Amino acid sequence: MLNFYTSFLARTAVFKGIPAKDIDKAIACLRGFYKSFECGQEIYRSDDIVSHAGIVVDGSVHAEQIGVDGKTVLLKEIGRGESFGEALCCLRQANPFLRIISAEKTKVLFIQLPSEDGTNRCGCPYRIIVLENLLREMARDIQHLNMKIQLLAQPTLRDKLLFYLHLTQNALRRNPFTLPFTREKLAQFISADRSAVSRELSRMKREGIIQIEGKTVTLN
């Protein structure tokens, strides 16, 4: 009988194409291991040389950019079944402006990927399937970062908020919809002050542009 995590991983994009009964074999081939983190604990520090990519099996993870002034900007929230650290792992280079932290109590499956110089390569068919799947996930990450660049390029705070709200509504395909972030995390995500974000959302509500109650938003 498959254990809980094996059954879950069989449904993720990273292990797509691998029979559920062979997931444990694939993890062994990739020298995988599980590790648990408390809320707010660093998974990758900014000076880490990363050798294993991660897949969230419980909880969630935040990728944050660290500014030269020490302030952080939320780049992406990584949920159950999603992967992170693939590019860092392949390049084996630290990124002094990036850190990965657990957003809540979290469990991660780490898998070893081949580095830029070709070490840790093998001909295991499961490894090849996982690498192909991770390549697609990295393409989605690039698309997400392009969206983030477009968002941050908006000239005003209102433009940033409207861009983000329309993007979220289109992704969820419903109206009203629930924001995935608290006001504080939303402000971090669009690189703005939390108080300014709250004031602008209130103005947009008074002007009839949106309806908002807590985290529930309706675009008018």
The band of 97, judged by pLDDT with boundaries at 50, 70 and 90, is: confident
Least confident piece of the model among 86-95, 113-122, 133-142, 200-209 = 113-122
The band of 1, judged by pLDDT with boundaries at 50, 70 and 90, is: very low
Q: What is the CATH number of domain 157-219?
A: 1.10.10.10
Quick check: do 4-141 and 157-219 share a fold?
no
Residue 17: the pLDDT is 93
Structure pTM? 0.77
Per DSSP, which regions of the chain are E strands? 33-37, 42-44, 52-58, 61-66, 72-78, 83-84, 98-102, 106-112, 177-178, 210-213, 216-219
The CATH-assigned architecture of domain 4-141 is Sandwich (2.60)
Residue 46: the pLDDT is 78
User: What average pLDDT does the chain have?
Assistant: 88
Strand order in the sheet with 72-78: 42-44, 98-102, 61-66, 72-78
Segment 43-64 shows an average pLDDT of: 90
CB 44 within 8 A of CB 36: no
Residue 43 has pLDDT above 90, yes or no: yes
Residue 73 has pLDDT above 60, yes or no: yes
The band of 42, judged by pLDDT with boundaries at 50, 70 and 90, is: very high
The band of 119, judged by pLDDT with boundaries at 50, 70 and 90, is: low
What are the boundaries of each domain within the chain? 4-141, 157-219
Tens-place pLDDT, residues 133-143: 999 998 988 88
